Structure 1
């Protein structure tokens, strides 16, 4: 209880309760989605990089082997996820209008373009 676990223990015992390291409980506000495949994939990639950075920061301060090894695994997993999202982004871009793939939203832009006539 001396390391700050007390308040958590009082509320949740040894049960798992998702929350940030700062004590902020998990909520659905953390999810981001715009409905545009390009935007959403960039958001996914950013989330993976943020997680990797968090694991890097943990590895800078933790010296216990039994803690470091699982954190290293989680960090590696974030790198792989980032790469897979990047591959999906490239595949998606390859299938869009190669002249301007940022101007195309496959979810909504199915009507004929009237602005460029």
Structure 2
């Protein structure tokens, strides 16, 4: 999220008030100027309620896998929305990072499932 917010701030650098208002950022600018403020696509602020941790490793890892896939799709959609080659490069890098995260969570899930399947002797 930090990199997307920073990309957003960089893209707004140097924009005039009139340009921001014309682009539909008047309300955002009034509240936050050009500081990154985490919002979803509808303008709702990010909150910790978006985290879905249950405290059970297998359930949490499946949730992590789903989160990485959702982030990957979001980056793909953002790539489709821009024609700036540098922005596309940044978004592609972030998308690839989500793919690697997905793979690592998948490996962790496999290890946890193997561990829980083993008979425990005490």
Taking structure 2 as the reference length, what is the TM-score of the superposition?
A: 0.76
Quick check: 1:37 aligned with 2:57? Answer: yes
Could you say what the CA RMSD is over the residues aligned between the two structures, in angstroms? 1.4
Q: Residue 21 of structure 1: CA displacement?
A: 2.5
Inter-partner Cα distance in structure 2 for 1:14 and 1:89: 39
Aligned partner (choices 8, 14, 39) of residue 19 of structure 1: 39
**Aligned residue pairs, count:** 99
Q: Residue 61 of structure 1: CA displacement?
A: 2.6
Inter-partner Cα distance in structure 1 for 2:81 and 2:32: 26
What residue number does 2:11 align with? none
What residue number does 1:67 align with? 87
Structure of higher CA gyration radius: 1
Gaps of 5+ in 1: 100-117
Would you identify which runs of 4 or more consecutive aligned residues in structure 1 move more than 2 Å? Answer: none
Taking structure 1 as the reference length, what is the TM-score of the superposition?
A: 0.79
Gaps of 5+ in 2: 1-19
Inter-partner Cα distance in structure 2 for 1:95 and 1:24: 40
Quick check: 1:97 aligned with 2:117? Answer: yes
Quick check: 1:50 aligned with 2:70? Answer: yes
1:79-107, Cα deviation, whole Å (9 max, x unpaired): 000000000000111111259xxxxxxxx
